[in-house]
Amino acid sequence: STQLVVSTALARAGPIGGLTAFFLWNLPGLIVLTVCGVLIATFVDENNPPWYLIGLPPAAISLVFKAFYGFGKKLDKLGIILCLISSLVAIMINGSRPKIDPLWSQYIYPSMLACGGIVSYLDSIRGTDVKIFGKIRRVPGKPYGTYKSASKGWDAESDLTMRRIGIPIWVGALIWIVWAVVLAVTVSVVGRMRRNGEVPNQYLEIFEVMYRIGSLIFGGGQVVLPMLQTEVVPMWMKKDAFLQGLGLAQSMPGPLFNFSSYLGAVYKGVPGALVAYIGLFGPGVMLIFGMVPFWARLRHVKWFKSTLNGVNATAIGLVGAACVILWEGAVTTFADAMVFTLALCLAVVYGIGAPWVVLTGGVFGAILHKDALGLGQNEWCSLGQDL
């Protein structure tokens, strides 16, 4: 959503318009989630969540399931295969300790996205004539996926759009270089300090975690959730606080990346919220501004568009993995399962907006809480043991 808002404003009003749209789009969620993070860190007992927060995690997870369903039903046959493979790999990474460290996901996820793009491109050229080693050869078979034809080439409208954007190609390339240098420096500095037994500055640590995750993941807020959970739980906060914040973030206007401000606020107050916010959003905004001058040309290239099909399908698979990974922490009692079921039905079947889904889940969870009706309080995973 943020990329769409910024890129649209860039195309209409140039860099100033893009930055203005970004700031206004994120400001409400940033303020509210920062305040909520500070209040929860200050007044909420992390070992005993209050009744008014107990229903937020399962309601929030239902919205991740809804997002996966919405994305998944648009996939073609090849997209479904790529989606399934990436989901299985991501779930395996997060459930194979100690053989596989979940932190490896920061390398494996981007690699899977790249592989998905390559597979999609190779599939798109099946049944077409391509130049191989100087000779025109026909690639056998028919594409398994569905691909759009290349759009019209560069024209007067494209030229006008580029003038409105006002970012030449060399500036776009420079922005990409700055992004890469900041990523390399922060990761290397923090990594070297840890290898030497030193404790990194906590604000530098927050920025490094958020900037690294924001740089390596493609596909939206739901994709980063398992990586964020791996990085911050239990080092910065307990899982309950993480999932409560996710529920609050899902109910706020603006992008899910605003969740970063909540995480930073719980860990290190308002300064931590601002550092986390800049860290997670920074790479995406930089890459948007750096990519726009190239995008005006690449969007007319058939191989680039077919590659994006595979990247998108693989990213959707990571959203599916997030459903499985986060479910464990969000649904721990039968009451949680009831809240999840209600919230998912409201979101998918009746199309109720996210804020009302989270609010309804919170109210329903409070009614079922042990200090109210006390219903559904048995542990969800104890069912098999009782049988």
pLDDT digits (tens, 9 = 90+) for 338-387: 999 999 999 999 999 999 999 999 999 999 998 899 999 898 875 444 44
pLDDT at 167 over 90: no
CA distances from 339 to 60, 219, 273, 316, 356 (A): 10, 27, 29, 25, 13
Q: What pLDDT sits at residue 85?
A: 96
The confidence band for 122, taking pLDDT boundaries of 50, 70 and 90, is very high
* Six-digit token string for 54: 């107990």
DSSP string, 253-277: SS-GGGHHHHHHHHHHHHHHHHHHH
Tell whether omega for the bond before 168 is within 30 degrees of 0, i.e. cis.
no
Query: Which amino acid is it at 334?
Result: F
Percent of the chain at pLDDT exceeding 70: 94
Contact 220, 292 (CB under 8 A): no
Element (H, E) at 173: helix 169-195
Residues present in the chain in total = 387
| Those residues with Cβ within 8 angstroms of residue 173's Cβ, 6 or more apart along the chain or in another chain | 290
Q: Is residue 6 helix, strand or coil?
A: helix
The Cα–Cα gap between 89 and 100 comes to: 11
The confidence band for 104, taking pLDDT boundaries of 50, 70 and 90, is confident
The Cα–Cα gap between 287 and 282 comes to: 9
The Cα–Cα gap between 283 and 181 comes to: 11
Q: What is the CA radius of gyration of the chain?
A: 22
Q: What pLDDT sits at residue 152?
A: 59
The residue among 12, 40, 10, 20 whose CA lies nearest residue 261 is 40
Contact 230, 217 (CB under 8 A): no
Element (H, E) at 138: strand 135-138
The Cα–Cα gap between 151 and 292 comes to: 17
What are 37-72's pLDDT values in tens digits? 999 999 998 888 889 999 999 999 999 999 999 999
Instruction: Classify 133 in phi/psi space as left (phi over 0), alpha (psi -120 to 50) or beta.
Output: left
CA distances from 171 to 90, 156, 165, 294 (A): 36, 22, 12, 11
* Six-digit token string for 50: 């209050």
* Six-digit token string for 367: 């009614």
| Those residues with Cβ within 8 angstroms of residue 225's Cβ, 6 or more apart along the chain or in another chain | 64, 246, 322, 325, 326
Q: Which residue has the higher pLDDT, 333 or 384?
A: 333
Percent of the chain at pLDDT exceeding 90: 55
User: In sequence order, what are the beta bridge partners of 137?
Assistant: 130
Q: Report the pLDDT averaged over residues 217-232.
A: 83
The Cα–Cα gap between 341 and 65 comes to: 11
What are 283-308's pLDDT values in tens digits? 988 988 888 888 767 777 888 889 99
User: In sequence order, what are the beta bridge partners of 138?
Assistant: 129
Q: Report the pLDDT averaged over residues 217-245.
A: 87
Q: What is the pTM of this model?
A: 0.89
